[in-house]
A and B are shown apart, each in its own frame.
Chain A
Amino acid sequence: MDDREILAALREEGNENYAFNLLVRKYSQRLYWHIRRAVLDHDDADDLLQNTFIKAWKNLPYFREESRLYTWLYRIATNETINFLKSKRLRTMLSMSGHESSIADRLASDPYFTGDEISRRLYQAISKLPPRQKMIFNMRYFDELKFTEIAEILNRSVGAVKASYHHAFTKMQDILNEND
């Protein structure tokens, strides 16, 4: 279904449930995987997805259609995830626990992670990137979004996004080469 049809359904009085179902049906999986690749844990991803849709639903009356609906939803999900990763990073620093080892342990014991050793190393390396760089890397590398789209989602210039991706990619290569 087209975004315009979803938005039209949203604006019809008494049609809220139907419109919300359309919105979730169309975007929940894409947004979930976008969040999940960044936070790794299913429960965290579920919480963030929930927050994303709650915020989207509350702010939909103010959505001015200057950007596409999926860009707007991606922006909410990305900001939610970045904030979550920042606070988690701070908590890890304060608790003085080994961040790296905890990621490796979590992935190894996670019943919802079926990746092999190479996948585990890749996601462990991604987890070392700063939150915003991580999101840019994921959007470009896994979601294969264009730099212009990423720039629109993050409300940054295309040049800044390209530079961030380049930094992230180089860092990832270094981390993976270190482990070889």
Chain B
Amino acid sequence: MSEDIRHSNPFTVPEGYFSELEDRLREIAVTPEPEHVGWLAKVKPAVMLTLMFGVIAGFGWVVSKVTGLLYTDPVESDDPITAMIEEGWIESSFIYAYSDEIDVEEALSNSLENTVTMDEELSEDIEASLTEDDIIRYLNLE
């Protein structure tokens, strides 16, 4: 093994390698690493989001409670007309059209008298009252 080979260097480097090395290595080695993020910091955004939802939901609940106190259910009120309108027993347009002119109790009794309801028991009575001739007549007419 000759001395020439020993002192010769057959290897080369890309141009400017050593001049750029200082900055590149410093950037890698000296630049501080980002701080370790703990589990608490990782879950913090999720916890905050959940808390925000909770606060919004709580606020909504409080608002609904406050407005609920201000709102009085007409059915539970003393006004029987309003209660009947709410229950669907009478047409509001009818009542409001004549409410100033008619007696409320009279209007109610009229309304109930004029209301025709065909409940099951009544239809059975009608059916029982039909005679055979009525049925034949009905079928012939058809």
- Footprint of B on A, CB under 8 Å? 16-17, 20-21, 24-25, 28-29, 32-33, 36-37, 40, 42, 46, 49-50, 53-54, 57-58, 112-116, 118-120, 122-123, 141-142, 172-173, 176
Q: List 5 A-B contacts (CB under 8 A).
A: A21-B26, A24-B25, A37-B11, A50-B28, A53-B25
**Complex: chain B residue closest to A173, CB-CB:** B1
Contact partner, B13, options A42, A50, A57, A173, Cβ 8 Å:
A42
- Footprint of A on B, CB under 8 Å? 1-2, 5-6, 8-14, 17-18, 21-22, 25-26, 28-30
The interface residues of chain A, by DSSP majority, are classed as helix
Contact partner, B9, options A16, A28, A33, A42, Cβ 8 Å:
A33
Known A17-B30, A28-B25, A119-B5; 18 more pairs at CB < 8 Å: A20-B25, A20-B30, A21-B22, A24-B22, A28-B18, A28-B22, A29-B18, A37-B11, A40-B11, A49-B21, A53-B25, A54-B29, A58-B29, A112-B12, A116-B10, A118-B2, A122-B5, A123-B10
* CA of A129 to CA of B126, assembled, Å: 117
On chain A, the residues within 8 Å of B2 by CB distance are 118
On chain B, the residues within 8 Å of A28 by CB distance are 18, 21-22, 25
* CA of A176 to CA of B2, assembled, Å: 12
B11 x A112 contact (CB < 8 A): yes
On chain B, the residues within 8 Å of A120 by CB distance are 10
B25 x A118 contact (CB < 8 A): no
B18 x A114 contact (CB < 8 A): no
A114 x B5 contact (CB < 8 A): no
* CA of A91 to CA of B26, assembled, Å: 31
On chain A, the residues within 8 Å of B12 by CB distance are 112-114
* CA of A32 to CA of B9, assembled, Å: 12
A57 x B30 contact (CB < 8 A): yes
B14 x A112 contact (CB < 8 A): yes
B11 x A50 contact (CB < 8 A): no
Of listed B6, B18, B28, B29, residue having the most chain A CB within 10 A: B29
CB distance from B33 to the nearest CB of A (A): 10
The 6 closest A-B pairs by CB, nearest first: A115-B10, A57-B29, A119-B10, A112-B12, A54-B29, A24-B22
CB distance from B1 to the nearest CB of A (A): 7
CB distance from B4 to the nearest CB of A (A): 9
* CA of A87 to CA of B21, assembled, Å: 26
